[in-house]
Amino acid sequence: MGLDNVLLNIAGTNEHVPEVKRVIHTIKERNHTLSWTSFSTFPVLLKRAMIKKEVAWMNVFNHDDSVSATLSPRTIVIRSLQVDFTFYRKVPNGAYHEVRDEPSPSDSETSRSTPAIALNPTSNLQGSYHLMSLGTRKQLTRK
């Protein structure tokens, strides 16, 4: 895979690159479908997770103007041809969950669960997810 056909286009201030502008527009269009959520103000953490997940899905499939005619961007970077679609679609963005906490010591009166909103999978082998705690609005990672 050579870089002979790669064109570097450095854009100045207030100049637009049509290809990049189109990709950004596509990501925005796909995320507008989640405007039905019940948040009065949309949490920044949730919005970032939605964009990350959308970009990840776009990179799963090959593009017409990609570096490779047969390999997707994800395959080139991660070097894995397989995508477990059932795992990635198991928990939708914005889904409510009570996630298990493991307080120490475990025999205290401390709550053993935290209400949270699903953000996206961590892509690790254990199957963990990033979530947003509704109490603190900070990111958690749980199985």
Pick from 10, 49, 69: nearest CA to 132: 49
Higher-pLDDT residue of 116 and 41 is 116
Which residues lie below 8 Å from residue 53, measured CB to CB, with a gap of 6+? 93, 120
Does 10 reside within a domain? Answer: no
Rounded mean pLDDT of 88-104? 74
Does 4 reside within a domain? Answer: no
Does 1 reside within a domain? Answer: no
Verdict on whether the full-model pTM lies above 0.75: no
Domain count, the chain: 1
What range defines the domain where residue 77 resides? 18-142
Identify the pLDDT of residue 2. 57
Identify the pLDDT of residue 47. 81
Does 8 reside within a domain? Answer: no
Give the span between the Cα atoms of 20 and 47, in whole angstroms: 20
